[in-house]
């Protein structure tokens, strides 16, 4: 009964910081990625609903990254708080080992690991598809209309507009210049007006009304003289009005099937299915290259002689006097034969180079699919491994709160991300297999976790400064005792 109370105490101490650190870290990751796309989002006049939708899909894709650091920070905090209040020392004196104290956290970490893999495999492909499609639509969308003084504006298709001065109400315009090179205009024209105004007409149109201006329009050359080389027509007006369609500023929704086959939008079963298809494509390309290249390399050399085909009886004969294939061709035809050989050699060279590019491209796609598959596993396993980093570190340091736990967690999480990036680059460079490349941070961090757990269970002074000071002094003394040559 007392152990159940202990499990309840540990779980309550774990859940509260876990939820808090999860949402804080998720918010930090969201802000980090938003800064990456801020230039593509700002100035597009997006509705708040579209921005919230974009952030929601982005947050779903960042959950597997926020879960490991949440487990790490919360496990350090719960064990650090218990160590700081001497609760761990009391439990150990009562015969309760550290591994027994960690038992409920072990179960929770397994649950978090499975949840992380489920989100990575089921939720993230859907959220990535929605996020990338929506981001692509935003990138293609024009920025909202913004006429700046003294700068030509090309927001409206086929028109370049410059305003020298705008009124305080952002509606009145002075010294307006418009270049009209739209598709429905036979010849480009230039419009200059002293004043005008621009105002919306409903939700889909914008009206520009100009006053006291002149329109210049180039005409087709109608003569041969010098004076008729550049004819134009000039029209003066008191009032000129142009209605612009604002529909080109609306966001267009792209068909999601365009991005549906990308490896980031696939679950594990789809990834494996695509990998099988890519491997078949790789084998077919290699076989095709072999089949089409073999006929160009059918001549066989035997020492200094040449094996040739007798065209009369279709039997192989050995001619010891033939030193080159050119000896079998009359002198008048040798030049033509050499040119044909060069043409065939260039043809097979071009085909082989194209096939090699295709093969390398398919190999890279296979690696990307494997990397995505093992990335799901890597971040899920990290949720389990970080328990064996955080819990013993909290027990060893015996510091709770947000000081030491945050510092320790950030150090180990940054190391995990660095090793993950290194492993991914090694995998893409085919130095390591995708399995070892993407799970490289787990292979590095897990032995550290086992080491720290053993030290914490045995109450070893891993972070005792006095221990390292004594060791350093012993090394100095041994160096001083070393006889000089």
Confidence of residue 258 (pLDDT cuts 50, 70, 90): low
In the structure, what pLDDT confidence band is assigned to residue 67 with cuts at 50, 70 and 90? very high
Is residue 167 predicted with pLDDT exceeding 70? yes
Give SS3 for 199. Answer: strand
Which residues on neighbouring strands pair with residue 308, listed in sequence order? 317
Residue reference for tokens 């205009």:
185
The pLDDT value given to residue 301: 46
SS3 content of the chain, % helix, strand, coil (to 5): 65, 15, 25
pTM of the entire predicted model? 0.66
Which is higher by pLDDT, 389 or 132? 389
Domain boundaries along the sequence of the chain: 159-249
Q: Return the pLDDT at 96.
A: 80
Q: How does pLDDT run across 289-345, given as a tens digit for each residue? A: 877 777 766 554 444 444 444 444 444 444 555 556 666 667 777 777 778 878 878
- Whether residue 371 contacts residue 423, with contact meaning beta carbons closer than 8 Å, is answered with no
Percent of the chain whose pLDDT exceeds 70: 72
Q: What is the DSSP letter of 121?
A: I
Residue 295 has, within 13 A of its CA and on its CB side, a CA count of 7
Residues 6+ apart with CB under 8 A from 201: 207, 243
């Amino acid at each position: 009964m007392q152990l159940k109370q202990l499990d309840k105490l540990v779980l309550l101490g774990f859940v509260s910081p876990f939820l808090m650190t999860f949402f804080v870290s998720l918010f930090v990751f969201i802000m980090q990625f938003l800064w990456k796309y801020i230039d593509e989002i700002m100035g597009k006049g997006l509705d708040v609903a579209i921005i919230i939708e974009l952030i929601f899909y982005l947050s779903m894709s960042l959950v597997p990254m926020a879960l490991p650091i949440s487990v790490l920070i919360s496990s350090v905090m719960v064990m650090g708080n218990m160590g700081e209040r001497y609760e761990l020392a009391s439990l150990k004196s009562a015969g309760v080992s550290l591994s027994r104290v960690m038992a409920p956290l072990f179960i929770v970490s397994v649950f978090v690991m499975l949840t992380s893999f489920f989100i990575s495999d089921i939720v993230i492909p859907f959220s990535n598809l929605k996020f990338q499609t929506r981001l692509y639509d935003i990138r293609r969308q024009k920025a909202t209309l913004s006429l700046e003084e003294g700068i030509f504006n090309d927001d409206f298709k086929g028109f370049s507009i410059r305003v020298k001065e705008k009124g305080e109400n952002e509606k009145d315009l002075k010294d307006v210049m418009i270049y009209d090179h739209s598709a429905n205009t036979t010849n480009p024209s230039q419009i200059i007006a002293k004043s005008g105004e621009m105002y919306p007409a409903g939700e889909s149109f914008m009206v520009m009304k100009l006053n006291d201006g002149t329109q210049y329009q180039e005409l087709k050359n109608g003569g041969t003289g010098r004076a008729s080389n550049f004819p134009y027509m000039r029209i003066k007006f008191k009032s000129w009005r142009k209605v612009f369609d604002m529909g080109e500023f609306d966001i267009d929704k792209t068909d999601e099937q365009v991005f549906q086959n990308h490896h980031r939008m696939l679950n594990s079963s789809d990834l494996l299915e695509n990998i099988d298809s890519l491997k078949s494509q790789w084998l077919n390309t290699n076989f095709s290259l072999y089949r089409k290249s073999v006929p160009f390399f059918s001549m066989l050399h035997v020492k200094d002689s040449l094996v040739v085909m007798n065209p009369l009886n279709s039997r192989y004969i050995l001619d010891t006097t033939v030193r080159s294939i050119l000896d079998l061709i009359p002198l008048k035809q040798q030049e033509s034969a050499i040119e044909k050989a060069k043409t065939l050699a260039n043809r097979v060279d071009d085909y082989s180079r194209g096939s090699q590019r295709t093969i390398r491209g398919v190999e890279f796609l296979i690696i990307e699919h494997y990397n995505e598959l093992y990335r799901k596993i890597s971040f899920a396993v990290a949720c389990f491994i970080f328990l064996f980093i955080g819990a013993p570190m909290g027990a060893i340091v015996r510091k709770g709160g947000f000081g030491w736990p945050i510092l320790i967690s950030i150090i180990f999480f940054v190391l995990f991300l660095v090793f993950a990036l290194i492993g991914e680059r090694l995998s893409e460079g085919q130095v390591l297999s995708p399995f070892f490349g993407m799970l490289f941070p787990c292979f590095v961090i897990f032995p550290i976790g086992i080491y720290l757990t053993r030290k914490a269970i045995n109450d070893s002074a891993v972070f005792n400064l006095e221990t390292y000071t004594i060791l350093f002094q012993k090394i100095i003394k041994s160096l001083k005792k070393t006889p000089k040559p």
